[in-house]
Amino acid sequence: MLTQIETVGVIGAGQMGQGIAQVSADAGLNVVMSDVSADAARAGLDRIGEATERAVEGGKMDAARRDGLLGRIEVTGALADLGHCDLVIEAASENEAVKTAIFSELCPQLKPEAVLATNTSSISITRLAAATDRPERFMGIHFMNPVPRMKLVELVRGIATADATFELARGYVDRLGKTATVSEDFPAFIVNRILLPMINEAIYTLYEGVGTVEAIDTAMKLGANHPMGPLELADFIGLDTCLAIMQVLHDGLADSKYRPCPLLVKYVEAGWLGRKTGRGFYDYRGETPVPTR
């Protein structure tokens, strides 16, 4: 069994994968970041380069640290290139079928002692682990978005997760300088079990005409001292991800209070997913965001 993590594989070069790769490399770990193609993975690395360049320009990081960080990240379009990694973290889209398909292709490539983790924000760790060849060396390591700024990581054990696997994961989180909280394996864990129903209720408040987008966000920022309004936050997370988590809660807990708001469903059907598509509860295509309702 491994005693320490030195090389981390990250599957997915999107916003979460980029963040996990960046903080891992910044902690001195070697990183291999993969995506569906080498070009997609390189684009993710380019965005890490842009983010760290802004950090250098803002005085939050020196150039030598930035250069060292980027030098420790390799990119690939092939899961086989993750075979030597000690820890592989899957950070693909919040879709169980996608994740299990990745594990099916990945597991035969991994060395026997490697630990496999998922960054899922809501899906059962036990069920995902059962789709792999190493349920005792599988667990949830759920980072918050944006990864470089957020201090919390949720650690979630499946029913088969070995103690040694958990301790390796905790040691990895400690090395990143982040704080771990431990959640039981229930739908959406701790943070999203509380956060997403609040966002869904804000969408219901809009849907029922209680307040406008601007009124709702202003009320929660100034009335509850939230740094970001719930509808603004939903756009930041991605409305498709919000809907996926609410569906996991609704299906997993069979309670009508978790029913996704029809307006959220409508926005996702329209392809208005928030910041990443240019429109959600705000329109981001101009110089300043404008409410869409």
Residue 55 has pLDDT above 80, yes or no: yes
- State how far the Cα of 122 lies from the Cα of 95, in Å rounded to an integer: 10
Catalytic residue of the set 121, 122, 124, 183: 121
Catalytic residue of the set 119, 142, 183, 232: 142
What average pLDDT does this structure show over 39-62?
96
* Mean pLDDT score of the chain: 96
Catalytic-residue membership of 121: yes
Q: Give ∠ CA 65-169-126 in degrees, rounded to 5.
A: 135
Residue 132 has pLDDT above 90, yes or no: yes
Residue 3 has pLDDT above 90, yes or no: no
> What does the pLDDT read at residue 54?
96
Residue 49 has pLDDT above 90, yes or no: yes
* Per-residue pLDDT band at 118 (split at 50, 70, 90): very high
* Per-residue pLDDT band at 2 (split at 50, 70, 90): confident
- Other residues' Cβ atoms within 10 Å of the Cβ of residue 18: 25
Catalytic-residue membership of 154: yes
- State how far the Cα of 18 lies from the Cα of 254, in Å rounded to an integer: 34
> What does the pLDDT read at residue 207?
98
- State how far the Cα of 64 lies from the Cα of 182, in Å rounded to an integer: 35
Catalytic residue of the set 90, 154, 183, 200: 154
pTM of the model: 0.92
Catalytic-residue membership of 250: no
pLDDT tens-digit series, residues 190-213 = 999 999 999 999 999 999 999 999
Catalytic-residue membership of 142: yes
- Other residues' Cβ atoms within 10 Å of the Cβ of residue 248: 22
> What does the pLDDT read at residue 190?
97
